[in-house]
Each structure stands twice: as structure tokens, then as C-alpha cells.
Chain A
């Protein structure tokens, strides 16, 4: 037991130094931190020091704030909720970034309110809303906090806290608001240029506010029909609408009503539109400029996806090079988001990412114009494999060189990327023991599940030798003898293990952005995976990757196919750390080659990363990186490797569908799910 005497200045300084190892560059100093703690009791000091130490590996700034604010937080929240307050901030960092973490820490008052029993905070309900919106929209929508609800059609902004009579009522309010904002995108609030349409009103600003209310009326009626389960909640939302709007109700509730009907009503009621609209806190506001920008970007992006999938489809269908260009037609129903694509009169099935792009376009544009079906440039595939072996022109000699896909040229840049292989050292061997201890029950469960996948013993019949008599064969032999034929001497059965004949590579993101919980989760994921894989005979290798521009793609050897999962490999897993940037193409091409060299029937490539490819300096972080990654996955698939991409990305951005189109993929919205998920995905992929 530590003594309950408060720590003095010197003792506090020492403890803080161990956590922050003060660097002058930070502009912070001991005094700023020791001062608030000096006044406190020992329990307060220990709380602050403990949680600062927990937070420091994630981000020092968070640790600073924890120390500064801990006395206040403990006072206002009490110990249990104060712990939750730090954890919520760390979670905010993982999911959104430093700014969110800082905002959460500062808002102790808000946190206190959210702890009330009937209140629901957006933080708590956001993952649930995201799944709800995914179900409604069929594509991911982001959820973010803002004082009033609104949407740019890609991100849904909702109030940070709702407190109605009960918890359930508060949660239902969130569902209704989310549905209302989804409805703005789905039924075309932004399908026309609202700013232009309202420009000639006497007061366009007031008109916009009125329009927001009219749209709430129109979409509310629509939602009551489409999602009758939400009728009560929608009615509650609309309850405060001013009586001037009563005459609009009937017109806007008509089945085919659109945003133009809302605007038309405003036009005929000019006397309403000149006055300021009442402020109804719970109803959505309109942001035409943001929506316009998102919509234009989305249309650009989705058109590209659609054209690429059409190109792929044509390539896979094409019989001879000399055939005349095929005739493309599309038959679309914008109301149901259904469409049929025909090539030379025959109906074809678009790949899932192409179909999703087409539906997104249909939603935004109301039709699929013929020019959207023009296939993207010929994605030529050269048959001689990816480049390798030749020394680079740069000073150092790369271990391998790879081509890179430049989507703007629609061609490869030859021998463009320099790959260096590294050994990983200096890892703590006890790390794996610690993870094993921490997750013992989980590991046991995984091992049992994996054991059940082991190629079962198979009985080979009609052998000339074996453990058992083959009754079928024996009976046949007796029958043959009776019938006067020569009986077969092969009368035994033998057990033999069925071969899974499978090799897998796990490619782990070691870029700088994995700093903190993601890196921890990656390493835990690998431990759990290896522990489980020990139950099978599958061949597997693990590589880490990071890099810095095209001249340096680093690949870290964690485990080769032929290495056992022993202390050495375990120490290397422990040593996986965040390094530089994420250039995903070269690592994918490298391990694809590794996989192709394995003498197995099935080859699997699993990537684990934290989102968008990104590299220093050049434009790899833009479309270029997405397209090259996509191309590398496509190459892998064509060569007979099955790629599967696991990504931690709370934003669930649309580029994922484009980038991972050639692969199957899973997006995790929470880091803590990663460790179990990797093993589970592997199991599902190979069961």
C-alpha cells in the first residue's frame, strides 16, 4: 500500500518525468503540471499519474490534459465516471483524432450530463447509428457531432446528447433523426441547386430556413410511409411546426412530392418566406453548399468505379480482340434503385462494387447517362509477371523492384518502386506470454474452433494394407468368389489426413498512423491468430510494411512460411512498431510473389491496415494510391491469390469500395474488435 501522504513537488516531478520525459520542444514544463496536483490529496494525484501513464503512449497531449483536469473531473464526476471520461477521450483519439480527444477531455460538464440515466450520448450510440444508416442507405454514412442536425449527404451531423423521458426514447429520437437526414439524400432534397432556386427570393436566408421546415414535413410524410415503425418519433419531431405550414401538409405528403414542390409552395406563400422562420432545435437545417460539393465529388468518384467495373466486365467477356465494340445499354428504375445492364442485348451482372456505384449514381442523378457506361481505359495486364531483379538507378541496391500502376496514364511505371527487406529485432519475448495470459479464455476458444477445421481423417478404401477390414470390399470379394470371379485382394481401409493445401500471408500495416491502440491491436491480433493457427497445418507467413516514397518500400520479416511460431517469431511480433508511411502496392506485389512460389492449391493474402494509402511527398495519398492498391489486388487475384483486406476505418469512406473492389474486405469501426476478428476472418475464409 502506498502511503496516503500527498506527494511533494520533488516526488511529483520525478513521477511526471518518468511519464513525459520532458522535452523542451513541447513548450510545457513541470510547474504547469505539478501545480494543480500539489493541492490535491494523494488519491487524486495517483489517479492523475495512473491515467496519464495510460494515455501517454497514445498521445502526450492527452496525458497532459489528464493531469491538468483530473482534479476537476474527479470532483465533478467521481472516480468511476472520471475513469470513463479518460477512456472516452482515448477512444475519441482512436476513432477521430486528437481534436476530438481534447474536446472530450475539456467538456467535463457535458460528460457529467451524459451520465444521467435517461440521456444517450452520440459517442455511445454512434456505432449503432452507423449500422442503422448502412442498412437504410446500403452505403456507409459517417456520424459526427454538431449542435443542430444536418447532413452533406455523406456525413450525418447529430446533437452530441439527447435526453428525453427515458433512455429508449432518447435512442429512438436518434434513430428518427438519422432516418430524417438519410431521407434528405435518398429523396432528393439536394437534387436541385437550392441556392440558385432561392436566389430571387426577397430574403434567401429566411427562405432557406423555411425550406428546411417544409422538407422536414415532406420527408416526414415519406418516412411515415416507408418506415412506419418510426411514425411516433417522426410525429414528435414535427409537432412544433408553425401553423402557417398547415396548408403545405397535404401537398407535400403526396407520394411523388419532391423538393421542387417544397420550393413551389414557398413561392406561392411569399408572405411567409420574408419573415424569419422559427428555430426548432430538433429539426434539420440545410447546407446546400456542402452538399453540392460532396455530391459532385461522389459523382466523379462513383462514375470512375462504374466505368472501371464495366471495363473489367468487358475484358472478362471478350472472346476475340477483333470483335466489334460491344453495345451497352442500361435500364434503370431510380425509385427502387434497381438496374439492369445489357451488353449486346444480353443481360449481365455487374460486380458488387460496380452495382453499388451505379446505385449511388442513380440516387444522385436520377438516371444513368450512356457516357457513364463507357469503359475506363484498357487495364492492360502484361503476362510476364511483375518486374523484379534488376538493380535500381538509385544509390543503394533494392532487394526487389516493382512496377506501379499510374491510373492517369493507364499504364505501369516500370521498375518504379524499390523494396527493401528487413529483419526485425529487439522485441520483448515476454510480450506474447503476457497476451496469452490476458486472453487465455479467448485463445482456448479460438483453438477449439480452429481444431474443428483440421482436415479430418479420411478413410481410404480398398487398400492392400491398412488398420481395418473394408467390409464393402470384403463383401464384394465374397460375392465375386461365389459368382466364380477372381476376388480382389484389396480388402483393407486406411485412415489419412485430408490436405488443406493452403498458404496464407498476413501483411500488417506498420505505418506511423498505427501509433497507439491500433499497433497494440495488430500485435494482439497476430498473437491470437498464431495461437489458433498452431492447431492447423496451414502454411503461413507474416510481413510488416511501411515506407517512404517509391524509393523505399520497407518490408519487415516477421515470420517466413518455413519458420515455426517459436520464441524468435514471438519476439518479432512484439517488435512491430509504427514507422513511416503507407504505400500499399509494393508490399502486396511482393507477398503475392511469395505466395505464388508456394506449392499449394489455395493462396490467401490478408492485409491489415488502418485506412487510406498514404505516402510522403508524391501524390500516393490521393486517387493515385487508391488506384495502384486496387491494381495490385487485381494482379494478385488474376494470378490466383485470393486477397482479403481488413481495415480499421471508422469513417467507412467510399473509397474503400473502389480500392478493395478486387478483394473481399471487412471494415472494423472499432480497434478493440481487431484481435478476435482477424482469426475469425481467417477461419471463415478457409473453413
Chain B
């Protein structure tokens, strides 16, 4: 009776019928593919908005595996990953968490911003990252063995300054680490064109704005403009917003609340557009 509702709670397995657009930057696709073949977990290191999520989607499509994405946050516990019992009328029903679901389905499980999660989550991740490749589901006394197609991928932004958000050595040394950064200028412009349909010249100017703001990192800005912000600005321009206004809204104000820093970015935008 209550069963159908439970399905709504079940973790989402995404399958990509169409190829997601991803522009390779270095050898990341080969390395990822090799790691997948050898059943090794992968760590994606890099600032926010540089294409990590898109890359995982693309690889899921390329490898023909379903994808489960979990955005980690500081309330995320191991139970949220593994699963829990629910009451359904007279019955108690077990509901797999996203990680368990991914393991059973032989999917790629992508834990985005893994350091944000509570420390106890590492306990369930570790046995999946070594040769055992098992997930202990303690509440059910079950040990789920990962099929060959299961793959664990986590992301991590080393730009965080907080001492509390460093990835522990005992965790990081379990992964094949791929470095991500903003793509080189031409590729980044090509991405913006492809994502938003604006003219090449405008995209090149957006990329220039980004490069200049990246020079302010640590000098007023925590991060420079990411590719994602450029795509946002591109969308605004495509919708008819004048470039300066589009950049001010999508880049300047998105990067900082500090008036001095915002005006510094405004000056740089002014110089480019």
C-alpha cells in the first residue's frame, strides 16, 4: 500500500542516453578509463566549476554505466550513504542509500566535495577502495560485494584554506588522483561557445576576464572566475544582456561580497568589454 511512495525515496540512478558534452583537456579520459578497467577508485582534485561533474557524467556515458551523484554536506552521515530502515504501515522496510544502490547496480558513485561529509563516512568508503571492494551494511549484517562495474569517484577542492577540510592522507592515498584546473584559454572559449552559442570573439573576451580575476586570487578574492561562471555570463549575453552587465552579475557579484573586490573585478571587466 505504501510501497509506491518508497520508490520516490530511492536513490536516483542516472543513465545517459545521449553523449554529454565534455571537452577533454589533458589525458584525463584515458586515465579514468584505465582506472575503471583496473577497478581503482578515482579522486578528482580541482577548484569548483572547472568541469569535474561534467567529466564524470561523460565518463559514465562512455563506459555505459549508471551514475549516482551525492553532493556531500556537513550533515551527511554514513547512514545517509548506506541506507536505513523505514516503517511502511505494519512493516519495516529497508531502503538502500545512494552508495549501496550504486554498489548493487555496478554504477559509478560520485561523492562530490567529499571533505564536507562527516568523518564517519570514511569508515564505509575505505573497504570499497581497497582490494576487498565490499560495503559493510552494518544494520542488516550484510556485506555487499561490489561487482566489477562499480566505481567510486570523489572530488576535492584543494583551494580550501580551512585546516578542518584537508583530505586525510589515509584517505587520499587510496585513490588515483586526477588534477583538474580551468582549461587553457582556447579550450575554455570553445566550451563557452558550445554551451551558450555566443560568438567566438565574445567568448574569448569572457575567458580574458576570467584570467584577470584569477590573478586576484588570494589578493581579495578566494577564487577567480570558474568556467561555470563564464558559461553563466555567456547565457546572459545570449539572452540579450549587454556583456558588461552580464559579467558584473554573473562574475563580479558571484565572486565576492566585498565592495573593494567587486569594484576591482568591475574595473577588469571594464577593461575587456
Would B164 and A472 count as touching, CB distance under 8 A?
Answer: no
Contact with A along B124-153 (1 / 0, CB 8 A): 000000000000000100000000000000
Q: Of the candidates A140, A230, A475, which one forms a contact with B219 in the assembled complex, judged by CB atoms under 8 Å apart?
A: A140
In the complex, A132 Cα to B264 Cα: how many Å?
A: 6
Would B139 and A136 count as touching, CB distance under 8 A?
Answer: no
Contact with A along B11-22 (1 / 0, CB 8 A): 000000000000
Would B92 and A478 count as touching, CB distance under 8 A?
Answer: yes
B109 at interface (Cβ–Cβ under 8 A)?
no
Would B92 and A175 count as touching, CB distance under 8 A?
Answer: no
Would A686 and B219 count as touching, CB distance under 8 A?
Answer: no
Would A135 and B264 count as touching, CB distance under 8 A?
Answer: yes
Contact with B along A163-186 (1 / 0, CB 8 A): 000000000100100010000000
Would A686 and B271 count as touching, CB distance under 8 A?
Answer: no
Question: Which residues from A are CB-within-8-Å of B184?
Answer: 338
Pick from B32-40, B64-72, B208-216 the stretch touching chain A: B208-216
How many residues of A are in contact with the other chain, CB < 8 A? 45
Q: For the complex formed, measure the closest distance between the CB of A504 and the CB atoms of chain B, giving whole angstroms.
A: 9
Q: For the complex formed, measure the closest distance between the CB of B54 and the CB atoms of chain A, giving whole angstroms.
A: 22
Question: Which residues from B are CB-within-8-Å of A686?
Answer: 162-164
Question: Which residues from B are CB-within-8-Å of A128?
Answer: 260, 263-264, 267
A664 at interface (Cβ–Cβ under 8 A)?
yes
In the complex, A140 Cα to B218 Cα: how many Å?
A: 12
Q: Report if A472-B79 is in contact (Cβ < 8 Å); known contacts: A128-B263, A134-B215, A227-B271.
A: yes
Q: Report if A687-B162 is in contact (Cβ < 8 Å); known contacts: A134-B216, A179-B271, A229-B271.
A: yes
A-B contact count (CB 8 A): 100
A18 at interface (Cβ–Cβ under 8 A)?
no
Question: Which residues from A are CB-within-8-Å of B84?
Answer: 472
How many residues of B are in contact with the other chain, CB < 8 A? 39
Contact with A along B202-226 (1 / 0, CB 8 A): 0001001000110110111010000
In the complex, A227 Cα to B208 Cα: how many Å?
A: 9
Interface residues of A in 230-247 (CB under 8 A from B): 230
Question: Which residues from A are CB-within-8-Å of B273?
Answer: 228-229
Nearest residue in A to B265 (C-beta to C-beta)? Answer: A135
Would B267 and A500 count as touching, CB distance under 8 A?
Answer: no
B185 at interface (Cβ–Cβ under 8 A)?
yes
A118 at interface (Cβ–Cβ under 8 A)?
no
Q: Of the candidates B118, B162, B215, which one forms a contact with A137 in the assembled complex, judged by CB atoms under 8 Å apart?
A: B215
In the complex, A478 Cα to B92 Cα: how many Å?
A: 8
A336 at interface (Cβ–Cβ under 8 A)?
yes
A602 at interface (Cβ–Cβ under 8 A)?
yes
In the complex, A686 Cα to B128 Cα: how many Å?
A: 30
Contact with B along A338-350 (1 / 0, CB 8 A): 1000000000010
Q: For the complex formed, measure the closest distance between the CB of B26 and the CB atoms of chain A, giving whole angstroms.
A: 8
A127 at interface (Cβ–Cβ under 8 A)?
yes
B86 at interface (Cβ–Cβ under 8 A)?
yes
Would B270 and A229 count as touching, CB distance under 8 A?
Answer: yes
In the complex, A136 Cα to B218 Cα: how many Å?
A: 15
Question: Which residues from A are CB-within-8-Å of B267?
Answer: 128, 131-132, 135, 175
Contact with B along A194-232 (1 / 0, CB 8 A): 000000000000000000000000000000001111100
Q: Report if A136-B215 is in contact (Cβ < 8 Å); known contacts: A131-B267, A227-B271, A229-B271.
A: yes
Question: Which residues from B are CB-within-8-Å of A228?
Answer: 205, 272-273
Question: Which residues from A are CB-within-8-Å of B139?
Answer: 472, 476
In the complex, A138 Cα to B213 Cα: how many Å?
A: 9
Question: Which residues from B are CB-within-8-Å of A136?
Answer: 212, 215, 268, 271
Q: Which 4 A-B pairs have the closest CB atoms?
A: A131-B264, A138-B215, A475-B85, A227-B271
Q: 6 interchain pairs (CB within 8 A)?
A: A134-B215, A135-B216, A136-B215, A227-B271, A229-B273, A502-B163
Chain A interfacial positions (CB closer than 8 Å to B): 127-128, 131-132, 134-138, 140, 172, 175, 179, 226-230, 336, 338, 349, 456, 458, 461, 471-472, 475-476, 478-479, 500, 502, 602-604, 642, 644, 664-667, 684-687
Chain B interfacial positions (CB closer than 8 Å to A): 74, 79, 84-87, 92, 118, 139, 161-164, 179, 184-185, 205, 208, 212-213, 215-216, 218-220, 222, 244, 260-261, 263-265, 267-273
